[in-house]
Amino acid sequence: MTSVDVTNLVKDYGIRDGLRRRDLRAVDRVSFSLLPRRTVALVGESGSGKSTIAKLLTRLEKPTSGRIDVRLGDGTPVVGSLYRRHVQMVFQDPFASLNPFHSVEHHVARPLRIHGRTRGAAATHERVLEMLRRVNLTPAEHMAARRPHELSGGQRQRVAIARALAPGAQVLVADEPVSMLDVSIRLGVLNLLARLQREDDLAVLYITHDLATARHFSDEILVLYRGRVVERGPADAVILDPHHDYTKLLAQAAPDPERVGGVIASSPVDRSGIDNSVCFDHHTGQWEHIDDVAARAGVPDRHATEKRIAS
């Protein structure tokens, strides 16, 4: 069982501003923990920093500062190539994330070989079929021989999930995993992720625009606004009793929080006066300034976090 502690994560990108260059802070002192069998949802609009956090967790980007500590159940740090095996990502676009020239079998077999999970062609083939059955891509022999263009979006995303789990991943970062899929099949893919999570004791970070699925499929929600966490707490509390003006705005923009696919409106809404220097924490029932949250996060208290999330 693997868990992740993210502490005061910061990511600055150098951007061109007219003739000058300046830093844009995409992620500002974000802290959270991912625990086995638990899902944390990161919600926020486009540009709030969600994908940047996913890239930092999966080492596609390097943090400017802050820590990401991945540990096994006994506390052993997960580093180097083991990190890549343990922490895997499911991307938003199942059309772009699979290579059109390779078969389904190739996509799932590759991580098995790279991470030394199977020995020999026969064992690898068997494991590929097993993974395909686990994600309900059957008959597995038939599906293994298909190429991505022969599959629907939902089937492709199942291949992407099988590929992510093949190396024995314990931490799954799912970046808008269903937003490009037909609304009618979204629930099926999310239910599949939930089942795999239970079976493999996965720690999941679920990144989404969709408050309804965030509520149904996560234990904890972090609301991100311009790189900072402005509200956090148990999923129901954040959605049913939002405190921060930004969360309220998201909840209003989502037409029906009970309906899966109730996506946050992408049209511009008035954000004047919204303050991302304060965060409401439903666990403590208190508002805190980001400087105070960040100062406390520097001294992580895992036990308290676990107890809070479990309660």
Ligand X SMILES: Nc1ncnc2c1ncn2[C@@H]1O[C@H](COP(=O)(O)OP(=O)(O)OP(=O)(O)O)[C@@H](O)[C@H]1O
**Residue numbers of the site for ligand X (CB under 6 A)?**
13, 15, 24, 26, 44, 46-52
Question: Residue 57 region, left (φ>0) first, then alpha (ψ -120 to 50), else beta?
Answer: alpha
CA-CA distances (angstroms) from residue 34 to 57, 103, 138, 305?
11, 33, 32, 10
Q: How far is the CB of 51 from ligand X (least distance, A)?
A: 3
Comparing CB distances to ligand X, the nearer of 48 and 305 is 48
- Rounded to a whole number of angstroms, the minimum distance from the CB of residue 46 to ligand X is 3
Handedness of CA 161, 164, 168, 171 (dihedral sign): negative
User: Least Å distance between CB 48 and ligand X?
Assistant: 4
Residue 273 CB, nearest distance to ligand X (Å)? 20
- Which residue type occupies 185? I
Alpha helix ranges (H) inside 35-87: 50-57, 80-86
- CB closer to ligand X out of 9 and 165: 9
In whole angstroms, the minimum distance from the beta carbon of 58 to ligand X comes to 13
The nearer residue to ligand X, 33 or 51, going by C-beta atoms, is 51
Tokens linked to 99: 């290579």
What is the edge-to-edge ordering of all strands in the sheet holding 171-175? Answer: 87-90, 171-175, 203-208, 39-43, 220-225, 228-234, 278-281, 286-289
Decide whether 197 or 208 has the Cβ nearer to ligand X: 208
> Nearest-5° angle of CA 159, CA 224, CA 58?
40
Q: Name which of 2 and 51 has its Cβ closer to ligand X.
A: 51
